[in-house]
Amino acid sequence: MTFTIRAVEPTDVMARLRTVAAGLALAAAWAPATQAQGSLFTAVPVEEQNFILVSAPIGSGERSQLNIYEQRTNKRPCFASSGSAPAVVDPLLSTFDFTGICNRYIDGNGYSLRIGADDLGTRYRLTVVKTGSDIELLAAPTRDRSQPTILVARAGGYGSGFIKLNFEPGWMLRRRAYGKKTLGHIYVYRDVQAMEVEVPETSEPDDTAADAVESAGE
């Protein structure tokens, strides 16, 4: 297993995450118990052009959560996007009965994190964090905060409303399958050969950053 070190420009508490070679910490995250869970399912490719990752506002819009929209048929468009860095998303599926036309995955029941053969849905949470200059999708540990927080996607700029998130290199979507049967669950997925891992710069902002992630995921 190799790890890529990439510089991250600091902005605020959550953005002050720097990339490090965290081989031992990451290896600990993929414990045998997690591998056993992952072995129950496989991850099969999807047609990614039919999907979009969205930072969707919660309530007044101060916080956001990950939504994933899927275009199943061409009967009606399920979403549209415009602009760039960040791109604004129009969730068209919210304006009609999209049964059989679109899928919408809005929480951990519909999507989860998977790295290689390891299904990490019970140990990592996908959470959207606004840094002040960008909107980031982070995979944050839910049980052991000493494990690394992983940068998965970002908007490329700051915006309000429904904002498109773009995967960092190596990340993709896969569908959960059991044997030969595909299931209605989407993996945010990547292989383990090269992992870009982000951890807090110092122990002091670590607690603050973890609290911010905790708050963002509520």
Segment 169-210, tens digit of pLDDT: 999 999 999 999 999 999 999 998 655 444 444 333 344 344
DSSP string, the chain: -EE--------STTT-EEEE--HHHHHHHS-HHHHHHHTT-EEEE--GGGEEEEEEEETTTTEEEEEEEEE--SSS---EEE-SSSPEEE-GGGGS--TTTEEEE-STTTEEEEETTEE-TTTEEEEEEE-SS-EEEEEEESS-TTSPBEEEEE-SS--SSSEEEEEPTT-EEEEEEETTEEEEEEEEEE-SSEE-EEEESSHHHHHHHHHHHHHHH-
Asked whether residue 92 is assigned to any structural domain, the reply reads no
pLDDT in tens, 9-19: 444 434 434 33
Check pLDDT > 70 for residue 6.
Answer: no
Residue 17 belongs to what domain range?
A: 2-46+105-217
Number of domains in the chain: 1
In a domain, 61, yes or no: no
pLDDT band at 126 (very low <50, low <70, confident <90, very high): very high
**Structural domain contains residue 70:** no
Pairwise pLDDT comparison (133 vs 3), residue with the higher score: 133
Output the pTM of the full model: 0.76
Residue 152 lies in a domain: yes
Let me know if residue 84 belongs to a domain. Answer: no
